[in-house]
């Protein structure tokens, strides 16, 4: 892994962004058409609602990638200034963020799809929480590796990966707490 992380290129980034969109499209198809939420399936909703659900999910995925990467970049800038770290190559930092986001999302999407097929529908809250933990852990691991071996900022890698792990778990934790 170290060897690949050190030599990651624009081609790798493009490949993972394409895989990200493919995995997100398949996940959107599963949640809109194959295993829709119980409220949609029980109501006998027209097919247009399913298509709107699919389109909304896909638009959310596309905008989520870019907004997520730039929010993570902003967190990186704040953390870098707090830790008094030198500025790294902006291209390498953004490449690291895109790759980490795309790879972790592809892994999470594939696991979610596998669970949907095994369970036969939408997973419960505990399974969703475990999926969020897995996705956050994969993202933190990738961020740590990219910032250690590609960006070459070890101290920042430790802090940044830990903070992103917690930030990515917060929405799921808040959702679990509010439902009780």
CB 36 within 8 A of CB 176: no
Of 94, 106, 79, 93, the C-alpha closest to 151 is: 93
Over 70: is that where the pLDDT of 41 sits? Answer: no
Of 50, 52, 62, the C-alpha closest to 22 is: 62
> pTM higher than 0.75 for the full model?
yes
The model's pLDDT over 95-120, given as tens digits with 9 standing for 90+, comes to: 999 999 999 999 988 888 888 888 87
The model's pLDDT over 119-145, given as tens digits with 9 standing for 90+, comes to: 877 777 788 888 889 999 999 999 999
């Amino acid at each position: 892994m170290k060897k690949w992380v050190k030599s990651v290129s624009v081609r790798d980034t493009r490949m993972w962004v394409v895989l990200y969109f493919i995995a997100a499209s398949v996940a959107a198809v599963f949640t809109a058409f194959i295993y829709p939420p119980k409220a949609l399936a029980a109501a006998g909703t027209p097919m247009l609602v399913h298509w709107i659900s699919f389109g909304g999910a896909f638009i959310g995925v596309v905008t989520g990638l870019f907004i997520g990467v730039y929010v993570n970049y902003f967190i990186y800038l704040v953390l870098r200034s707090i830790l008094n770290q030198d500025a790294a190559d902006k291209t390498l930092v953004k490449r690291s963020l895109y790759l980490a986001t795309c790879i972790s999302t592809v892994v999470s999407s594939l696991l979610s799809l596998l669970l949907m097929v095994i369970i036969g529908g939408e997973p419960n809250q505990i399974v969703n929480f475990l999926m969020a933990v897995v996705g956050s852990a994969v993202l933190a691991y990738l961020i740590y590796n990219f910032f250690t071996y590609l960006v070459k900022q070890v101290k920042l890698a430790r802090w940044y990966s830990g903070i992103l792990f917690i930030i990515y778990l917060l929405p799921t934790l808040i959702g679990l707490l509010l439902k009780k």
